[in-house]
Amino acid sequence: MASILNAFDSEALQLAAKTIQQGGLVAFPTETVYGLGADARNPMAVARIFEVKRRPSIDPLIVHVASAEEAEKYGRLEHKNAHLLMRQFWPGPLTLVVPKRELVPQIVTAGLATVALRMPAHETALALIRRAGTAIAAPSANPFGYLSPTDAGHVSREMSQQIDIILDGGKCSVGVESTIISLIGSKPVLLRPGGTPVEELEKVLGEVQRFEALPERPEAPGQLKRHYATRTRLEVFSGVEHELSIRLGERIGVLSLGPLADPGRYAAVEVLSSSGNLREAAANLFAALRRLDEMDLERIVALPVPEIGLGIAIMDRLTRCSARE
Ligand code: TXA
Ligand code: MG
């Protein structure tokens, strides 16, 4: 059983850092979602992450660092935009994929010659990395394919048996995973929309290509169609379509950006933001999906949100959640 400790307590952090150094697993808060961390230089410790998550070994992990200088030890940040992006967006929800250095074990990158680097904007995460004296490899702290955890309770319900420590830092402020940008080719490519809106990136980079839209896209691990999935079937429907799809007496849960006109018709309704704010909606997304998933519904209907700002990441997660095996 994992010990659940206060993420802002200095002794707890010290114990967690020691656990990382000794090859253990620590779940910790970041501004996006909770991560399941191990020493990024210790292949045995990283192997346990894959085991505990039941994650396929072809899906590489993000290496979390506490500064741009530290990032240099793990990856080659020679792309002309690398330093600009780090200066502008670190610490924060932006992950950069760059050529890896020797120091990163193969298991972390799933054998790729590239590594994903991120400096999180969360005091606990940064303190843990600094005190452990090593970068921390961490995927989201959920069983592979399920919804990412945005509070310590989510982590403890699913992972508590197999990990050593859970640092409880309350609710994550961003709520969706980091945006991932590849700096491997000459032009930056968006691999995953996330907590840093792509519009913000485009202000400094110009137009950013989307992986999905590349004419000849390379094999990319982790670009799984079905992911972030509820156990209950979920469909993304516009208002009218979903009206037409309801069967009499069906237990439906609805996920909506703003309040519904007729909430009484459904077995459950989750409103992501009463004012329709997309940042607030992103922060509430995974917890709302979990609550619906725990209600034994026949179906979850997610109403689409505008695809701007954080709405792009929200729609990406909902679409992947709705994809069939
Ligand atoms: O916000 C986040 O990014 C959270 C927190 C914990 O930092 N982490 C997270 O990790 O979402 P994970 O493992 O759930 O998702 C990481 C994604 C994977 O889908 C993987 O395919 C991609 O990053 N990735 C990692 N290394 C890569 C690489 N070298 N090339 C391309 N994609 C990579
Ligand atoms: Mg994940």
Which of 177, 183, 225, 227 gets mutated to test ligand 1 (max ligand atoms within 8 A of its CB)?
177
Q: 250 C-alpha vs ligand 2 centroid, how far in Å?
A: 31
Which of 32, 52, 74, 95 gets mutated to test ligand 1 (max ligand atoms within 8 A of its CB)?
95
Cβ-count burial 221-245 (b if 16+ within 10 Å, e if not): ebeeeebbbbebebebbeeeebeee
Closest C-alpha to ligand 1, atom 7: 35
Residue 59 alpha carbon, nearest atom of ligand 1 = 21
The reply to whether ligand 1 has any atom less than 6 angstroms from the CB of 232 is no
The two structure tokens encoding residue 170: 């309350």
User: Which one, of 268, 297, 38, 27, lies nearest residue 153 by Cα?
Assistant: 27
The reply to whether ligand 1 has any atom less than 6 angstroms from the CB of 152 is no
Structural domains in the chain, sorted by start: 3-210 (3.90.870.10), 234-322 (3.40.50.11030)
DSSP string, 10-70: HHHHHHHHHHHHTT--EEE--SSS-EEEEETT-HHHHHHHHHHHT--TTSPPEEE-SSHHH
**pTM here?**
0.96
Q: 93 C-alpha vs ligand 2 centroid, how far in Å?
A: 14
Residues pairing with 301 in the sheet: 235, 254
Ligand having the closest approach to the CA of 138: 1
The reply to whether ligand 1 has any atom less than 6 angstroms from the CB of 33 is yes
Is residue 11 within 8 A of residue 150, CB to CB? The reply is no
Q: 63 C-alpha vs ligand 1 centroid, how far in Å?
A: 9
The pLDDT value given to residue 216: 74
The reply to whether ligand 1 has any atom less than 6 angstroms from the CB of 59 is yes
The reply to whether ligand 1 has any atom less than 6 angstroms from the CB of 166 is no
In this structure, the number of other CB atoms found within 10 A of the CB of residue 215 comes to 4
Is residue 64 within 8 A of residue 37, CB to CB? The reply is yes
Is residue 28 within 8 A of residue 34, CB to CB? The reply is yes
The pLDDT value given to residue 168: 98
Ligand having the closest approach to the CA of 182: 1
Residue 61 alpha carbon, nearest atom of ligand 1 = 25
Task: Tell me the pLDDT of the chain (325 aa) as tens digits.
Answer: 999 999 999 999 999 999 999 999 999 999 999 999 999 999 999 999 999 999 999 999 999 999 999 999 999 999 999 999 999 999 999 999 999 999 999 999 999 999 999 999 999 999 999 999 999 999 999 999 999 999 999 999 999 999 999 999 999 999 999 999 999 999 999 999 999 999 999 999 999 999 887 877 766 666 678 888 999 999 998 766 777 677 778 899 999 999 998 898 899 999 999 999 999 999 999 999 999 999 999 999 999 999 999 999 999 999 999 997 6
Three-class secondary structure assignment of 79-146 = CCCHHHHHHHHCCCCEEEEEEECCCCCHHHHCCCCEEEEECCCCHHHHHHHHHHCCCEECCECCCCCE
Ligand having the closest approach to the CA of 60: 1
Compute CA distances 316 → 2, 99, 311, 313, whole Å: 32, 26, 8, 5
Q: Are strands 136-137 and 62-64 parallel, antiparallel or unpaired?
A: antiparallel
In one letter, which amino acid is 161? Q
Q: Is the dihedral of CA 53, 59, 64, 65 positive or negative?
A: positive
The reply to whether ligand 1 has any atom less than 6 angstroms from the CB of 179 is no
The reply to whether ligand 1 has any atom less than 6 angstroms from the CB of 138 is yes
The reply to whether ligand 1 has any atom less than 6 angstroms from the CB of 116 is yes
